[in-house]
Structure 1
Amino acid sequence: MSDQAKHRARKKAVRTAFDRAAASYDRAAAVQRECCARLAALALAHPPQRPVARLLDAGCGTGHAINWLNRQFPQAQLLALDFSPAMLIRARQQHEGHVHPLCADLEHIALDGNTIDLLWSSLAVQWCPPHPVLGELARVLRPGGQACIATLGPRTLHELRTAFSTIDDASHVVDFEPPLVWREAATSAGLEVIASDNMDVLARASDLRSLLADIKAIGAQTVGPGRRRAPLGKAAWLRLQTAYESFRCADGSLPATYDLILLILRKPE
């Protein structure tokens, strides 16, 4: 299978995973809300340098950031984009009258170039190759426009990767790109890196089954070629539990790390 075919297969699997997760997403998305709050704090420290008349939430999911964005920019037209129809339906239901929904792929945004003053994207671009997706975001930004982006780095779910390595060689955790690759992709797209940050955000649960259920409930399970197809047997599940126990915290919880990358980018005038 060619790299392009693998990418298409993975994107289809991602869309299916998020469609299935739409109904349960808000109940399980504590880490996603925390990542969104971290991005909001960095965005407030580096406000847009031009008036914001048109705002795009790129990869809006169920619309967690929409209320905050509307409060910050009450006069702006807010476009909510997601490539999962089920996620977009949830966003429309929860924010009726406050958004203009757009079902589209981040790599092929159905908007004219130079039409967006501020672009917000929290935990969406990691499902795309950095150079094409940042090139597309740069295309729709107006000169002087700004992009606020939260994505995930290679240490994401490293505990799960390590524990699963005791069972088989299947790809149980997605390989995400490091901060340097994202900064280089931004520069290649003609965007200035105004600010960046990198930190761990932890999900916690009392046991491994609950932790994995939360990961699945937000659509973040491994997708695409290379993942394990067969369910775990009892012996493999016990080995997985034993391996994951080495990460148990002093407070008794089991952690799952999300390697958060934050970027504030600007398109030159």
Structure 2
Amino acid sequence: MLSAPIKQRVRESFDRAASTYDGAAILQRRVCDRLLAHLTPPTTPTRILDAGCGTGYGARILRQRWPNVPIIGVDFAPAMLDVARDAIDLGFAADIEKLPFSNEYVDLWWSSLSIQWCDAATVFADALRVLKPGGTLAVSTLGPETFHELRTAFTGVDAHRHTLAFDTPEAILTALEQAGFGGISLRRERHAVHYPDLKRLLRAVKDIGAHNVGEGGRSGMMGRAAWQRVEAAYERFRSADGLPASYDVILATATK
């Protein structure tokens, strides 16, 4: 779980990235599409919550499937929410760990690539609270093999953390079960996005606001010699498509 000061820095990063996010969010759109493909609620929802809606891509594809269903967007970065306004019916700047809604408010709770910034158990407990009986949860998040190339490249260069501590699929399953969800379906997929060089790979991560890594991250600039060592280490992962940024994607659906 991120501390309050770290979470505030993450919020500020996403606020700054609102104007660059859509141009860099290749993987994020792909994962939204994959989550929707595996979503089969038993009935047509009457109200949808997009928890951590970002710039609204998830809301837009949900709208394509259910054009007449109200969609409420929540994001803790107000600038992201401003970009999403045309995709949602109502928008709230709030933390998805503590949603500003009454009990049994929605019958589809959706969140794509947001809960890795939160405590999953807290998020799922509040999701259960706002879902109607029989309602559906659909969530995607990132697993521990995400950015494994980056961690490997920094091994021996410094002792700082360079990625978030991502939850395992087993931890996500346990959090859903302990929150009280049933009918849980969990799927794990590996995806990669390729870049011509390491600088552009890291720029893309920054352009979506995802460069904060919590406690233990580097606070200053890296020296030239250390950077060259990291570049050389990352080059070992190069393929014909370029340098990969790997994502360990967890897709889950469940019912209340």
Distance 1:225 1:157 in 2: 17
Q: What is the aligned partner in structure 1 of residue 206 from structure 2?
A: 216
Q: Cα offset for 1:192?
A: 1.2
Q: Which of 238, 243, 247 is 1:258 aligned to?
A: 247
Distance 1:193 1:247 in 2: 39
Q: In the alignment, is residue 248 of structure 1 matched against residue 238 of structure 2?
A: yes
Are 1:13 and 1:224, in contact at CA under 8 Å, matched by a contact in 2?
A: no
Q: What is the aligned partner in structure 2 of residue 63 from structure 1?
A: 56
Specify the code of the residue in structure 1 equivalent to 2:246: T
Q: Which of 164, 186, 201 is 1:196 aligned to?
A: 186
Q: Cα offset for 1:116?
A: 0.7
**Cα distance 1:164–1:193, how it changes in 2: closer, same or farther (>3 A)?**
farther
Q: Cα offset for 1:247?
A: 0.7
Deviations 1:190-225 (A, max 9, x none): 101432100111111011111110011111113332
Deviations 1:161-204 (A, max 9, x none): 11112310001111111011011100111101432100111111
Distance 1:193 1:258 in 2: 26
Distance 1:175 1:225 in 2: 10
Are 1:163 and 1:243, in contact at CA under 8 Å, matched by a contact in 2?
A: yes
What is the TM-score with the length of structure 1 in the denominator? 0.92
Q: Which of 134, 142, 146 is 1:144 aligned to?
A: 134
Q: What is the aligned partner in structure 2 of residue 176 from structure 1?
A: 166
What is the TM-score with the length of structure 2 in the denominator? 0.96
Are 1:171 and 1:226, in contact at CA under 8 Å, matched by a contact in 2?
A: yes
Are 1:9 and 1:225, in contact at CA under 8 Å, matched by a contact in 2?
A: no
The size of the alignment, in residue pairs, is 256
Deviations 1:120-153 (A, max 9, x none): 1000011111111110111101000001100011
Distance 1:215 1:147 in 2: 27
Q: Which of 55, 74, 78 is 1:81 aligned to?
A: 74
Equivalent position SS for 1:21: helix
Q: Cα offset for 1:42?
A: 0.9
Specify the code of the residue in structure 2 equivalent to 1:71: Q
Are 2:194 and 2:241, in contact at CA under 8 Å, matched by a contact in 1?
A: no
RMSD over equivalenced CA pairs, Å: 1.3
Distance 2:142 2:6 in 1: 17
Are 1:62 and 1:87, in contact at CA under 8 Å, matched by a contact in 2?
A: yes
Distance 1:225 1:80 in 2: 29
Specify the code of the residue in structure 1 equivalent to 2:255: R
Distance 1:122 1:15 in 2: 17
Distance 2:30 2:144 in 1: 19
Q: State percent identity of aligned pairs.
A: 42
**Correspondence 1:153-172 to 2 at 5 A:** 153-172=143-162
Is there any run of 5+ residues in structure 1 with no aligned partner, and where?
none
Q: Cα offset for 1:10?
A: 2.3
Q: Cα offset for 1:252?
A: 4.5
